Structure 1
Amino acid sequence: MRKLALSDELLLSVEKPARYIGGEINEVIKDASRVDIRFCMCFPDVYEIGMSHLGIQILYDMFNRRDDIWCERVYSPWTDMDRLLREKQIPLFTLESQTPVKDMDFLGITIQYEMCYTNILQILDLSQIPLFAADRGEDCPIVIGGGPCTYNPEPIAEFFDMFYIGEGETVYYELMDLYKKIREEGGSRKDFLEQAAALPGIYIPAFYDVEYNEDGTLKSMAPNNPHAPARVVKQLVVDMRDTFYPEKPLVPFLKATQDRVVLEIQRGCIRGCRFCQAGMVYRPVRERDIEDLKQYAVKILENTGHDEISLSSLSSSDYTHLKELVYFLIEKFRQKDVNISLPSLRIDAFSLDVMSRVQDVKKSSLTFAPEAGSQRMRDVINKGLTEEVILEGAAEAFKGGWNKVKLYFMLGLPTETKEDMEGIAALANEVARVYYEVVPKEKRQGRVQVTSSTSFFIPKPFTPLQWASMFTKEQYLEKARTVNEAMKSQLNHKSLRYNWHEADVSVLEGVLARGDRRVSRGILDAYRRGCLFDSWSECFDNEKWMEAFAAQGIDVAFYNLRERSLEEVFPWDFIDTGVTKEFLKREWKRAMEGVVTPNCRAKCQGCGVRKFGGGVCFEGQS
């Protein structure tokens, strides 16, 4: 394997050369001649975003603990470096050793967001690796996909040799050992893929045939290789004490999007929001041990020099020992000016007490996520949050000195009415009213600021709302206009601000989220037309995407504008997440009836994940 020499001329020609040079604190360097496997971990977005991702840090640490594996990294080159690499015909290289990615044994790509799909093709293209798995020879790396988008991998299936379904700490070592064994025996690429297909959680797209009905819906998806299972079962860590966590995470040269230490306190969520894919596919809830977390926090802060630590979870307030952990961190780092970030908190007395002690009240704003403006709509999506609770939380916050609040909502939810949309403005107005009601005039620090943001609902696989239809770009914008007009008519409209997500991006994301293998033609065509960094508003070109879809015969309406029948076969049905389709159907019906389902801690609903065993579901429940 050869190492590229990065010239000063090349680095001085790009906006942020630190994105490409490596050498960060806690980077792992090994002697390439003394390892058996070279693994390149890829995040298909710019360095600053990729370096903020905890999953990469965990896998980087896990792989590099083994003497026989060297895990390196690569991120999507920004447009300036992309252009230079193409002009000078320089293959994309790893940060640690500047070795061409095409010379690695594995290229592992974490897929966090559908709008990064063209960046995946960029990575392959710049690495001089054939875009289609079927075109790769014995000298090409094995391209693996992982992350949340693999819960419907079909729109990008033909670009990958395999997908890893589930949490990476479980099967990756076994997969690496198998690769070494096959290579030592002189086996071929196909030999490895066939034996890998028999491992739990491994999906090899080439080993499955897809058939469609005359109406375009999926008829069947069946294995064409005896080693491939009919259903691929997600892999998850049962005991969170018996796993990996980086005590020396990489520290970026540039300011990352999340420039702080991340402490994962638990996985999964008890809440059961019907729109939330993460809440379904990451079930069941598994908490990390409180004493382990205390030790991790101390060691990681010492090993990085960061002055902020974020407690990561889908619902931090549900962590059993949250109060003990937070007060420990406050006391331990009282003299070191370490800020504690607490995302995903319910706004209650404890949360406000903590935030008043760890944040600068004058500079921070509090965030509520009602998701819908009316109680009827919140019951449909099983949000489990009443207006009374929202206003009580706001009142306590205002009494505590806050005067800025952010509210997050979704538009385009199933059964939504004009009254539901206008309810967003009404709720924002009520929050503002509470401020003027509970804060005496002489104690007010100017006018209260209530900022409401709406995204457009996108049905995701393995959620109870996966059967829902979406809307056109024009319909979404009309919904946003309805909310905007309602905002202007509120009594406290001078205290209200409103913004909304790009409608065309939401439409495209909907196609990619629930698409099948045929969508890959459109992704490739869009990439060849110049689409790249589609999650960046300054780069997104909806016209090129629509031209690509039209050229490839991909009907946006087919994927977005029809409500699926409960009997329809989905492209992702071959994956077993533990949560059964019958449970999701039951929750879809309850959504249509506006019936609330209690959270997992209150009452087990029999979603199916108990089969994973290990005491991971709450005891004493059936």
Structure 2
Amino acid sequence: MKKLALSDEILLSIEKPARYIGNEVNMVRKDTDSVDIRFGMCFPDVYEIGMSHLGMQILYDMFNRREDIYCERIFSPWTDLDKIMREKKIPLFALESQDPIKEFDFIGITLQYEMCYTNILQILDLGQIPLHASERQESDPIIIGGGPCAYNPEPLAEFFDMFYIGEGETVYFQLMDRYKENKKKGGSRREFLEMAAEIEGIYVPSFYDVFYHEDGTIKSMTPNNPHAKATVTKQLVVHMDDATYIEKPVVPFIKATQDRVVLEIQRGCIRGCRFCQAGNVYRPMREHSLEYLKDYAYKLLKNTGHEEISLSSLSSSDYSELEGIVTFLIDEFKGKGVNVSLPSLRIDAFSLDVMSKVQDIRKSSLTFAPEAGSQRLRDVINKGLTEEIILKGASEAFQGGWNRVKLYFMLGLPTETVEDMEGIAELSEKVAEVYYEIPKDQRNGKVQVIASSSFFVPKPFTPFQWARMSTKDEFLQKAYLVKDKFRTMLNQKSLKYNYHEADLTVLEGVLARGDRKISALIEEVYKNGALYDSWSEHFKNDVWMKAFETCGLDSDFYTIRERSLDEIFPWDFINAGVSKEFLKREWQNAIGEKVTPNCRMQCIGCGAKSFKGGVCYENQN
């Protein structure tokens, strides 16, 4: 193994040195002199978080199957090592080769969560790579961003050479081949960017000019380079079984946040929740076949030694072969101590038969997401759940032996009233009451109902992108109201209520909905010490508030201002498969408290059916 980039003295002085040494089970090793392209796959958070990210593992495996590409992993150094690297001027390095990342051809950064944006600048800064794309030289790596937050790339436009819009298995190799072609003929960095801009799904921010109205809204966004497209179209895998999956995931030395094998069973969602960005941008829903999943489940467990397998999707209950894959996993690995985890289950479709099979191995808490406390507000957000269904599902779960339930809600949703908010406590109380209706000798101890509320952020490419956000004070007032209501509940000892940080949510809204002007804000807070903003103990709200003043920006402009239907959004140049007309129609349906059927019940004309060859739920089977 190559000599480590960090000395033994440094490794012994920092927390969890295993984050930085590589050499884990299933890590890929290649001769760096025998490859044409060196690609650094970066997750801008600490190792344990990044190693839990499925997309990173998929792309790491995919790239390394090509002999001419060596893909290595890069994570944000924790604050203790960050300090030492700055003091000793140690350049940021990749785990596999321990080489400085500035020597790579590409750095691909996963944009998973807005509050990781300052960590992106940390990666570039410690990597000794100019923060601004405009300042990079021919020898600097190409910085490319992808992932869910790339659906509004504008707040990061200054820092990236390009963005990849869509699913990574589609045009990445085409991009790599263009790079090799340009390199072979001695082409410049700009010439490669022009070649890249011609590829569907690739967005090069420097090739576009943005013009503003006097009120700060966008007047137009136009290409300034003939190679750039006026509309950038997301890329997606059409037939899921055609995509290769990971056979040998890298197994971390230390416990990762998701310390298990992850088996992706489908992409997309049929439900149409109006607050959910993923449910819109990952349309249409596409399933893996049962045989495909059986094959990969066996390989994954065999090649990792993990004792848990999680079935991953936006709505596991909607997978048509859910019972089949669960039955296979239970039967195949019975007696081997393998636990099956089923996240993203809908309470209305939770099969008691499937549940009873899973519980034979290990019981844990069940998680359900009513999202809103009243039926009226659940209709507004198009959740498609009635109180009767929620309570029936909880009853079945309790009869199956569970006694701990987590309920997820949102505060600050459009049209929300006091009755809607108080309904969170009332619904939680009713769930607890269902448990106590079971005969005492059939109960499994005391029940615990944990209700959590996040604060609503209107995300791009959702029907709620026209909605206003609440202010920090409004969010807190709502949380206090719900908390007070919980104190009046008869079964309050069985109930627990938590809520998210309000100031963090406001900033998430700014970064999610922002335009190019926000790049200056991100750079300003980074230079003043903001880092690991998604970690409560490191979040510095005062630094952010001061930066708004310094940059002459108003957070209210991006958050509490309700948009008109004809406003141009910073992300309108992206074709994400759902039409803006559909989103407008759904926004108006929300205001009218009108429920839209899911895709299995009826095609709702979102645009996915005519997107990329007509793939949608109704013509997959």
TM-score range, shorter chain: over 0.9
Deviation at 1:360, TM superposition (A): 6.7
Aligned pair count?
Answer: 619
Residues 506-545 of structure 1 aligned to structure 2 (within 5 Å) = 506-545=505-544
- Report the equivalent of 2:95: 95
Q: Name the CA shift for 1:370/1:361 in 2 (closer, same or farther; >3 Å).
A: farther
Q: Name the CA shift for 1:349/1:502 in 2 (closer, same or farther; >3 Å).
A: closer
Deviations 1:144-168 (A, max 9, x none): 0000000000001110000000011
SS in structure 2 at match of 1:340: strand
Deviations 1:196-236 (A, max 9, x none): 10000000000000011001111111000000000000000
Is the contact between residue 4 and residue 93 of structure 1 (CA under 8 Å) also seen in structure 2?
A: no
The one-letter code matched in structure 2 to 1:432 is A
The one-letter code matched in structure 2 to 1:119 is N
The one-letter code matched in structure 1 to 2:314 is L
Residues 175-324 of structure 1 aligned to structure 2 (within 5 Å) = 175-324=175-324
- Report the equivalent of 1:25: 25
Stretch of structure 1 that moved more, 234-243 or 5-14: 5-14
SS in structure 2 at match of 1:538: coil
- Report the equivalent of 1:387: 387
Is the contact between residue 154 and residue 572 of structure 1 (CA under 8 Å) also seen in structure 2?
A: yes
**Distance in structure 2 (CA, Å) of the matches to 1:21 and 1:50:** 15
Deviations 1:320-367 (A, max 9, x none): 111111101110000211100000112357533333333379852111
The one-letter code matched in structure 2 to 1:556 is S
**Distance in structure 1 (CA, Å) of the matches to 2:444 and 2:69:** 57
SS in structure 1 at match of 2:368: strand
Residues 95-174 of structure 1 aligned to structure 2 (within 5 Å) = 95-174=95-174
- Report the equivalent of 1:57: 57
Deviation at 1:492, TM superposition (A): 1.8
- Report the equivalent of 1:48: 48
The one-letter code matched in structure 1 to 2:396 is E
Residues 468-487 of structure 1 aligned to structure 2 (within 5 Å) = 468-487=467-486
Q: Name the CA shift for 1:346/1:611 in 2 (closer, same or farther; >3 Å).
A: same
The one-letter code matched in structure 2 to 1:270 is I
SS in structure 2 at match of 1:565: coil
TM-score, normalised to structure 1, is 0.98
SS in structure 1 at match of 2:511: helix
- Report the equivalent of 1:549: 548
Tell me, yes or no, if structure 1 residue 34 matches structure 2 residue 21.
no
Gaps of 5+ in 2: none
The one-letter code matched in structure 2 to 1:187 is G
Is the contact between residue 362 and residue 402 of structure 1 (CA under 8 Å) also seen in structure 2?
A: no
SS in structure 2 at match of 1:335: coil
- Report the equivalent of 1:503: 502
SS in structure 2 at match of 1:479: helix
Q: Name the CA shift for 1:361/1:22 in 2 (closer, same or farther; >3 Å).
A: closer
Query: Percent identity among equivalent residues?
Result: 71
Report the RMSD for the aligned CA atoms in angstroms: 1.4
**Distance in structure 2 (CA, Å) of the matches to 1:4 and 1:89:** 16
Deviation at 1:610, TM superposition (A): 1.6
Is the contact between residue 260 and residue 308 of structure 1 (CA under 8 Å) also seen in structure 2?
A: yes
Is the contact between residue 284 and residue 617 of structure 2 (CA under 8 Å) also seen in structure 1?
A: no
Deviations 1:273-310 (A, max 9, x none): 00000000000011011101100000111011111100
**Distance in structure 2 (CA, Å) of the matches to 1:591 and 1:348:** 22
Q: Name the CA shift for 1:545/1:603 in 2 (closer, same or farther; >3 Å).
A: same
**Distance in structure 1 (CA, Å) of the matches to 2:4 and 2:293:** 40
Is the contact between residue 3 and residue 99 of structure 1 (CA under 8 Å) also seen in structure 2?
A: no
Deviations 1:101-138 (A, max 9, x none): 00000000001000000000000000000000000000
Tell me, yes or no, if structure 1 residue 352 matches structure 2 residue 346.
no
**Distance in structure 1 (CA, Å) of the matches to 2:139 and 2:397:** 60
Tell me, yes or no, if structure 1 residue 364 matches structure 2 residue 364.
yes
Tell me, yes or no, if structure 1 residue 79 matches structure 2 residue 79.
yes
**Distance in structure 1 (CA, Å) of the matches to 2:144 and 2:121:** 13
Residues 550-565 of structure 1 aligned to structure 2 (within 5 Å) = 550-565=549-564
Deviation at 1:615, TM superposition (A): 5.2
SS in structure 2 at match of 1:159: coil
The one-letter code matched in structure 2 to 1:515 is G
**Distance in structure 2 (CA, Å) of the matches to 1:186 and 1:576:** 33
Deviation at 1:499, TM superposition (A): 0.8
Is the contact between residue 151 and residue 575 of structure 1 (CA under 8 Å) also seen in structure 2?
A: yes
The one-letter code matched in structure 1 to 2:42 is C
**Distance in structure 1 (CA, Å) of the matches to 2:213 and 2:318:** 44
The one-letter code matched in structure 2 to 1:379 is D
Deviation at 1:5, TM superposition (A): 4.0
Is the contact between residue 207 and residue 225 of structure 2 (CA under 8 Å) also seen in structure 1?
A: yes
Is the contact between residue 345 and residue 351 of structure 1 (CA under 8 Å) also seen in structure 2?
A: no
Stretch of structure 1 that moved more, 443-452 or 164-173: 443-452
- Report the equivalent of 2:602: 603
Gaps of 5+ in 1: none
Is the contact between residue 38 and residue 71 of structure 1 (CA under 8 Å) also seen in structure 2?
A: yes
Residues 330-341 of structure 1 aligned to structure 2 (within 5 Å) = 330-341=330-341
The one-letter code matched in structure 2 to 1:596 is V
The one-letter code matched in structure 2 to 1:424 is I
Residues 449-460 of structure 1 aligned to structure 2 (within 5 Å) = 449-460=448-459
**Distance in structure 1 (CA, Å) of the matches to 2:559 and 2:243:** 40
The one-letter code matched in structure 1 to 2:341 is S
Stretch of structure 1 that moved more, 247-256 or 351-360: 351-360
**Distance in structure 2 (CA, Å) of the matches to 1:134 and 1:513:** 23
**Distance in structure 2 (CA, Å) of the matches to 1:433 and 1:361:** 27
Deviations 1:437-494 (A, max 9, x none): 1x11233344321111000000000000001101111111000011011111122222
Q: Name the CA shift for 1:330/1:614 in 2 (closer, same or farther; >3 Å).
A: farther
- Report the equivalent of 1:397: 397
